Every structure is written in C-alpha cells, then in structure tokens.
Structure 1
Amino acid sequence: EDHMVDTTAAGMAPDETRLPEIGHVFSGPDFNLARIRKSVFAALLDSKRRYGGKKLATIDADGRELTYGDLTKAAFALGHALKAGTESGEAVGVLLPTGAGAIISFYAISAYGRVPAMLNFTAGERALKAACRACKAKRIVTARRFIELGELQELEAALKEDHELIYLEDVRENLSTMDKVAAAVGLVAPFLVHAHPDPDSPAVYLFTSGTEGDPKGVVLSHANLLANVEQVRDHIEIYPTDKVFNPLPTFHCFGLTGGVLVPLGLGVPAICHPTPLQAKTIVKRIAETQATILFATDTFMNQYARAADGEDLSSLRMAVCGAERVKDETRSSLRRRFNLEIVEGYGLTEAAPVFSVNQPNNNRPGTVGQIMPGCQAKLVSVPGIDNGGQLHIKGPNIMKGYIRPDAPLVLEAPEDGWHDTGDIVSIDEDGFISIRGRVKRFAKMGGEMVSLAVVENCATSLWPDNMHAAAAIPDKRKGEQIILLTDYDKADRADLVAFARNHGISDLAIPRKIIRVDSIPVLGTGKTDYGTVQKTVETMMAEDAKPVAQPAE
C-alpha cells in the first residue's frame, strides 16, 4: 500500500487532503539555530565552562584519563606548535586511530583556525594521496607508535614523498616556551588565543571510501557539526551518568561526531578504543569502564555478542547502530542475552552524520527512526519502485559540499541545499523512515527493480552466523542477474528458493547463482565493501564463462 503522511503531524489542517509521500516535504521538529553559531573549539570551551575543567572528558585505550581542562590545555599547546608554517584555513591531515591523540589533534588544529582532514589509514596510498590533493593538505599529523603497531611503514614512506609528516611524540618532546605560554594563557583567557572562524567555514574534511574511483572530500562546517550535536541533545535523552564507548574510527563521521563531539558536547565521558575489530578486548573494557552507550554497526555488534560472557555488556543501556541494517537476529540475541536494546539510525557523512534515529522510548525496529530536529526530507519517484522513492535531505547539518582531487578545494554545493542521498526509502504516517536500499543496489530485471538488500536479508535469515553480499551483473535475457557471495560453505540455492516461496518473496529476488568465498570484504568502518564485491563477482563469473578447452583426439 502507499504510505501516507499524517497531515496533522505535517502542520496541515486535519480536514485537508492527505498527501502522498512522493514529492511531499517531511519536516522534523523545530530547531534553534542560534546554538550553532560558533566554532567547534568554542563549543569545547563552552563545555569546559558548563561542566567544569575537572570533569572527566575522555578515557584512552591505555586507561589514561583526560579532563576538559587537560584536553583544552593540550590542544592549545599542540595547536600552537602545529600552526607554524601553515596559514589560517589550511588543511592539516590527521592519520591516527581513535584515542586521545586523535581528539587532541582534531581540536589543536581547529583551535588556531586550521582545518583537520581526517584520513582513512585503511584506504591505501592512492586514496590517501588523492584525499590530500582534494583539500591541499601538505602536512599530516601521526604518531610513531601508531605507525609501528599498525605496520604502516610502507604507507609512511609513500606519504613522505610529497607530504611533511609530523609525529606527536616529537612535538611533545620539543614544545617551546611559547607553546607552553599559549597553553597557560588559553586556560585563563582562551578568547585571546584561539581563532574565531566563521561558523559556516570548513571545520573538517572527511572522505568517502572511494570504491568507485578516487575518494570525494565532504566539507562539513562548524555549524554542520554542532547542529548534529545539538540535534542529538534534543532527540535522545542523555543522562549525566552516561558513558559513551566509541570503537569507531574518527576518520568516519559516526566515530567523530557520535563518538567524540556528542559526548564532549553533552558532558559525558568518551571512552576511546583504537579499532572496532578487537571484540574480546572491547567487551571487557565495556565492563571495566561501565559504559552505558555503545556506538557500533550490526557487523560489530554480532562480534561483540559472541565474545561477551555473562555480565560483560550488562552496563549498557543502549547500543546506537548505523552504517548498515540491523538484523532481526542481532536485535533478538542482544535483548535475550543482555537485556540490551539496539537503537537504529540512519546517517551519512554528508549529514554530519545523523539524519534520523530511533529513540529508546520510541523505538520501532525495522526502521531508522524519525527525522532529526531542523531537518527536511522529500522522496523523488524512481521508475520501477512503487512503495518509496529516492531520498533527498536538507537541514543545518547537511554538508557545505564536495571537493575532488582533480579540482582541489572547488566546492560542489548541494543544489538549493538539498542533498540526493542515493537511497531508496519509504516514510510511514508517523514519520518513521524505512531503508529499502541504495538506488545503485537494485537490480533491473524484466522491468522490475529488485533490492539486493532483500536478497541478502533472505540469506541472513537462513544462515544468520555468516556474512552475505549480493551483486548484479548484466544478463542478455532479463537485463540483469543477481549473484550472491557468501562465506557459508554449505549454502544451497535450493534452500533460498524454498525460503523465498514460503515467505512470499518474489522469485526475482532468488540469486541466479551462489558463490562461496573465504570472507566477505569489508571497509575500515565495518560496512561491506560492495565495490570489491562487485569486482569479485564479475571476475569469478567471467572465469566461469570461459570456454573449456577440449582435449585433442
């Protein structure tokens, strides 16, 4: 059936005709824009004043605790040392894992009016150099210990060819008297030391994964980032006793805004972990720190649930998940074993990142919640899609625009402020959004659009302990055919056929072929690497199509 919008909720008179979702603009609650007219560093100083300089701000992976006073003092000193040789507004790369070093570096660069460019150290040399070209970053802040532990010596050598690498250990050892004076003055009279950039100027450069070519730079302003912090404040109740556990990378917007800026802005400790992959260590740290909120993805939540014993996750009151669909099996397993509710949301880097999210007291599984305060959404019709449309979004958290390596710092702004997400969604009468899939992740078969996410969901329902990824390739007869990659070695297409027919799922959603692989490729953020999935399927199907040489008689 066609979803309709509640006219009362949309601010229309009850006796007016209910509007269909296509073309209608959905709006979130009102939002006070005055709160975001400052820089991200000024917001940190506001938090220090509001919650106190001795208030715990962050806990590093080694257990080191930093207060708001420690954080601002370190940012003033490091920022003063780093600004030499750079200009106001210049990009400075940050190549560090989630932790105190990354947080201090982010704020240190920002404090003096430079712009941190958060670099994805899992992306490889080509993508990193392209990212630096896009924002004209000549310097990169990193740490010798990180390079050593991450075995990134080859990447380090490649980046040194055309960038200056600044090591945090060296800067700490060589802080000048003036650096220390800047830190001391900053604690007493910060307005005399820190920069005062326009709230609408760039605050951070983040980069897409680049699976379809060179990564694009996403330009987020100070106001964009602070809007998302304040939207979370308005939308989800955060208690003074909360502690946020963040294992997601700060080069990912969810890890940066959700895992760092939100807790620091709302006065609750940010507990950092350098990688989301250490499931056993993470569940033990959650127990040790008595964390109450966890930021993760479905993939990682599954790993944490398997690694957890008894009370390991009992301190958590909610897990906030994004980046990929939360499976029913994940949700039920965590509720049964740990009495833990998953709050699922929808975000993208271009939205800084949260656009919609469920609330603990208004949680509708299977959806990604309601639109954040101050945001708007509209659906654009897509041929072959009857129940839903392509999501376009607008709001104070929506990016300034894209920058690209082939046109450094040339801003491509969203048209009239509307960003096309490329996602197919439906919106119900209560304003809850359901994700149908990316427009690029639909197969066109016999004139119908078939969601590859549905194919994956069927496989997950049958084989919940494994990972699956679907891809579409050209087919002369139907237009396209669907191939499923799976790491389950006993996967049988006949089982999928039976499941689909028993659950009323179209035969078109049954993959033409199942290919078993050792592992499904994932990005550093934990999301499935669909670019690699597509290439793997194309390569393997091409191999299968090669004629077999006949033996000579």
Structure 2
Amino acid sequence: MFDALIGARERFGDKEIIEDQDRKPLTYTGLIRAAFVLGRKIAAITEPGERVAIMLPSSMGVVVTFFGLHAFGRTPVMLNFTSGARNLKAACATAGVKKILTARRFIEQARLDDLVVALEPVAEIIWLDDIRKTVGIQDKLYGLMAGIFPRQFRAETSPHDPGVILFTSGSFGAPKGVVLTQANLVANALQIASHIDLDPDWVFFNPLPTFHCFGLTGGVILPMLQGLKAFQYPSPLHAKQITDLLPQVNASVLMTTDTFLNQYARVAGPDDFSTIQFVVAGAERVRDETREMFNQRFGGLELLEGYGATEAAPVVAVNQPGNNHFGTVGQILPGMEWRLERVEGIDQGGRLFLRGPNVMAGYLSPADPDCLEALPDGWHDTGDIVDVDDEGYVRILGRAKRFAKIGGEMVSLTAVEGIADAVWPEGRHAVVSIPDSRKGERLVLVTDRDDAEVAPLAEWARTHGAPELAVPKRIVKVGELPVLGTGKTDYVAIQKMAEVQSRAA
C-alpha cells in the first residue's frame, strides 16, 4: 500500500494530492513525510503488525494516520463512530484492538465524549493532538530524509498482508470484521481506473466516511494512486456547506449515496455542480426521483450508479460516463469472476458469487481475533440477487434476505419499495416483512409520508400489472427513516419499528 503511494509520486510528480476544509493541501512528498513522522511516533507505542484502530472523520488527518500505520507495518482498523458503543466494543474485541487513535477536536465537535468514556475500558485512547505536540526538530529531519528515500525507511510488507480491517455496514444484522489485503485495495483502485478514464487534473470530492469502504477506496485510495487530488470533507450531512464548496475547490467527481445526493440537490444553487464531470453513487439504489431532479435542475449531470461490497474492497460494478445504463449498476469490473446460483422461488436472476484480486482474505472470527475465516476456493457469497443481461450489465433485484415468502410466493421487498417510490416519489420508504400466521409473512411499509394509505399502492399495482401480494397492507408512518452513518437505510432499526407497531396494533 505504501509502495503504491510512492509509485504514484514517481508517476505523476510531486503535485498537491490531498486537502480538506482547513484548506492546507499536501503534496505527495508532504503526505509521505507526515506519514513517516506520525507513524514513527505511533510505532514507538505499538508492536510490529499490531492492529491499531482509527476513529476519525474524513480529513487529511485520517489519511496521514492511515498511511503512517502502513509505513511502519501496522494494520489500520477503521471504526464506525456512528454505530454506537456496543458495536464499537464488539469491533475492538473482534479485531483484537488495544489502542484507538483519535483527536480531541473531532471528539468535541462531534460530541462523542460519552463514546470515548465507554471505550476506555476496552482499549487505550491515544490522542493524536498530544502526539503532534511532541514532534521536534529531530522528527522533522527524519521526515525530511524519509520523504527523499521512502523505500529505505518504510517497513517491508507483503501484498498479502492486511491492508485494512473494516466492518460491514450492519444494514441487515450485526457488522462483520472484513480483512482486506494490501493487494485487494490496490487491485480495486486499478480495476476502477481501467474501467473509467480518470484525468489526473481532476479533483475527487469525498464527504463519505473512511470507515465505509466506498469512502476509503473510492474517496482516498483510488484518486491518490491515480494522481487526482482527493478533497476530504468530514460529514456527508452538511448539505449546504458541501454544495457551496464544490465549485470553490473545482471538484470534478463527487462520491456519494442517493440519500445524501437527494439532500444536496434540494439546497444547491444552479452553478454549484458546474465543475462536476460526473457523480458516482453507491451503497444504495439511485431513485428515479433523484435522477429527475438532477436532469431538471443541473442540465442532466450524469449520475453513475455502482455496486459494491465491503468484502470486494468494495467496487464490483459501475456505470461509465457516456455509457450509463439507467436501472443497472453497470458492468462487473475487469479481472473479476462471477457466477449466479438459482434461488428457489425466484424466477429471474440468481444469487451472486464473486472471486478476484479485490475479494477479501476473509472474515475475522468473532470468537478469536487471530482466526481468519477464509473463503471457500476464494468465492464470496454476496447474498445479493441480481440479473445480468447479454451485455454484462448488472441489475440488482434485492438481497436474499430482502425477499418475503407470502402465500408460497417469493416477493422482493426492494421491488415493493419501488412501488412506494413511484406513488410518492418525494418520500423515503422502506419495506420489511413480519411473521403472519396465515400467509407465512406479511409486508409492512415504513414511510415518512404522513398521508400514505394502502389504496394508492393497490391502484398503482393494478394499473402496472404488479401482483396484489406486493402491496403492503400495513403502513407505519415516521417522521424520518433511520439511516446508518454510511447513508444506507438502517433496516435493523426499521424491522424493530415494524415489529413494535405490529404488537401494539
């Protein structure tokens, strides 16, 4: 991983490569020096090969820390600070983490003091602010020399050594610890670059958290290894600040999700997207309403929908500029093998399995941090039901877990959400299933539309040929649908809402 960074400097020259809202950009050499200086300090209090957790927002600080650990042969463990104390404690135990790197400024601004207190019994909190205060002239001289001869100073590692430990989003259950090798991360960046032409003069704008693989690979590793400046913004929730910044920093590519993109479109001025070449949207389906809004307000700016999984580092497929097939997530990236296995009761498509240079080494065993649960023959079961057309374009039909068996028929919950989206395009909707004594399962629509009723859903289904089974007979109305820190819909929380409301009815 660190050699890939050094190689990018040799290939693209010592240009500005990283910046954040403090507006003090670093060149490749500046980043390499900073990584060596900070990494050396961290190495003095950790062991070679140790897994060291990072709890920071998207910023130059998280990038310097990530590469600083790599420079000295430590493994970064990215913690999702939005997932709550319980999940974070479990993550630390699963990864065998003894130390957490964070910053007082971040903890204070994000109001995470209680979280730090909860984590202190399970891991030592290392304040990067304090480490930086100890940097003296000898450290700077060391960084100067290391920046000139980085290969002589960096720790020797193997491409098959761990590159990062991430945790799955937990959209449908408990997060899993995913071990991605250094080769996985570099390979995925190369796969994307071979699929989409990237101009080294472009600026990637990344508001996504680096604890999410899309934010880490797409927002940091890909641009930096391909010579593009990566602008890091600490929170995807700051819609107005982000849209104001886009033209100021001459952003060319925006990495985001449909949830956040919808918010940006509503607050953006007519010229806020004027410098953007295209938007890459992943992690969740891009809704028709979002595309229509961009077509009307921003001159048809291309929204490239893609598909990924943490286990695949993460990009599996993505559309291309000028070759953008709406309703699909594009073609599977070069170098990947895939196969579909038929799922009983589902007539179209099949369950997607993947193998390739970007597919993880395996999951961490929750019972033993040193035990890696490797993939059988390298094949990863995505759990996604997809269809692939004759040209190789992938259409996501839903998660295997996101099908309900009603009266003996398999019904896609994702397709049912599509009905609600069509009837109330400006609302946010989620569909889950709960047990039913007569039909096996029944559908529950959870929506932020306070006027939602069953009748319009049934009428749309009749006029568009959708089966009656696909119409939810129960609707739960909420002020706002819960989402994860990655922007994905939090189906675990929504399932609990539906079950509580069902018991109360």
Give me the TM-score of the superposition, normalised by structure 1. 0.90
Q: Could you tell me which residue of structure 1 aligns to residue 400 of structure 2?
A: 439
Q: Could you tell me which residue of structure 2 aligns to residue 13 of structure 1?
A: none
Deviations 1:137-173 (A, max 9, x none): 1111100000000001111112122311111211111
Task: Report the Cα distance in structure 2 between the residues aligned to 1:201 and 1:543, rounded to whole angstroms.
Answer: 51
1:280 to 240, 245, 257: 240
Task: Report the Cα distance in structure 2 between the residues aligned to 1:198 and 1:241, rounded to whole angstroms.
Answer: 31
Task: Report the Cα distance in structure 1 between the residues aligned to 2:158 and 2:450, rounded to whole angstroms.
Answer: 56
1:129 to 63, 69, 89: 89
Q: Any conservation in 1 of the 2:17–2:26 contact (CA below 8 Å)?
A: yes
1:375 and 2:343 correspond: no
Task: Report the Cα distance in structure 1 between the residues aligned to 2:222 and 2:429, rounded to whole angstroms.
Answer: 33
1:296 and 2:261 correspond: no
Q: Could you tell me which residue of structure 2 aligns to residue 79 of structure 1?
A: 39
Q: Secondary structure at the match of 2:306?
A: strand
1:536 to 485, 494, 497: 497
Instruction: Report the CA distance between 1:214 and its aligned residue.
Output: 4.3
Q: Could you tell me which residue of structure 1 aligns to residue 367 of structure 2?
A: 406
- Quick one: which amino acid aligns to residue 62 of structure 2? A
Deviations 1:374-418 (A, max 9, x none): 001100010111111000011100000000332213101111000
Task: Report the Cα distance in structure 2 between the residues aligned to 1:414 and 1:214, rounded to whole angstroms.
Answer: 19
Task: Report the Cα distance in structure 2 between the residues aligned to 1:225 and 1:142, rounded to whole angstroms.
Answer: 23
Q: Could you tell me which residue of structure 1 aligns to residue 274 of structure 2?
A: 314
Task: Report the Cα distance in structure 1 between the residues aligned to 2:21 and 2:502, rounded to whole angstroms.
Answer: 44
Q: Could you tell me which residue of structure 1 aligns to residue 73 of structure 2?
A: 113
Q: Any conservation in 2 of the 1:182–1:193 contact (CA below 8 Å)?
A: no
Q: Could you tell me which residue of structure 2 aligns to residue 493 of structure 1?
A: 454
Q: Any conservation in 1 of the 2:173–2:492 contact (CA below 8 Å)?
A: no
Equivalent residues in 2 for 1:350-369, closer than 5 Å: 350-369=311-330
Q: Could you tell me which residue of structure 2 aligns to residue 451 of structure 1?
A: 412
Give the root-mean-square deviation of aligned CA atoms.
1.2
1:466 and 2:449 correspond: no
1:49 and 2:29 correspond: no
Instruction: Report the CA distance between 1:335 and its aligned residue.
Output: 2.2
Give unmatched runs, 5+ long, in structure 1: 1-39, 545-553
Equivalent residues in 2 for 1:67-466, closer than 5 Å: 67-176=27-136, 178-210=138-170, 214-339=174-299, 340-466=301-427
Instruction: Report the CA distance between 1:215 and its aligned residue.
Output: 2.6
Q: Which one has the largest radius of gyration? A: 1
Task: Report the Cα distance in structure 1 between the residues aligned to 2:133 and 2:45, rounded to whole angstroms.
Answer: 19
Give unmatched runs, 5+ long, in structure 2: none
Q: More deviation in 188-197 or 437-446?
A: 188-197
Q: 1:175 to 1:129 in 2, by over 3 A?
A: same
Task: Report the Cα distance in structure 2 between the residues aligned to 1:467 and 1:212, rounded to whole angstroms.
Answer: 18
Q: Secondary structure at the match of 2:175?
A: coil
Instruction: Report the CA distance between 1:186 and its aligned residue.
Output: 1.0
**Number of corresponding residues:** 504
Task: Report the Cα distance in structure 1 between the residues aligned to 2:380 and 2:139, rounded to whole angstroms.
Answer: 42
Q: Could you tell me which residue of structure 2 aligns to residue 4 of structure 1?
A: none
Q: Could you tell me which residue of structure 2 aligns to residue 26 of structure 1?
A: none
Q: Secondary structure at the match of 1:203?
A: strand
Task: Report the Cα distance in structure 1 between the residues aligned to 2:471 and 2:206, rounded to whole angstroms.
Answer: 37
Task: Report the Cα distance in structure 1 between the residues aligned to 2:224 and 2:78, rounded to whole angstroms.
Answer: 18
Task: Report the Cα distance in structure 2 between the residues aligned to 1:209 and 1:323, rounded to whole angstroms.
Answer: 10
Task: Report the Cα distance in structure 2 between the residues aligned to 1:521 and 1:48, rounded to whole angstroms.
Answer: 42
Task: Report the Cα distance in structure 1 between the residues aligned to 2:495 and 2:382, rounded to whole angstroms.
Answer: 21
Q: Secondary structure at the match of 1:238?
A: coil
Give me the TM-score of the superposition, normalised by structure 2. 0.98
1:519 and 2:477 correspond: no
Identity %, equivalent residues: 51
Task: Report the Cα distance in structure 2 between the residues aligned to 1:173 and 1:86, rounded to whole angstroms.
Answer: 19
Task: Report the Cα distance in structure 2 between the residues aligned to 1:362 and 1:415, rounded to whole angstroms.
Answer: 35
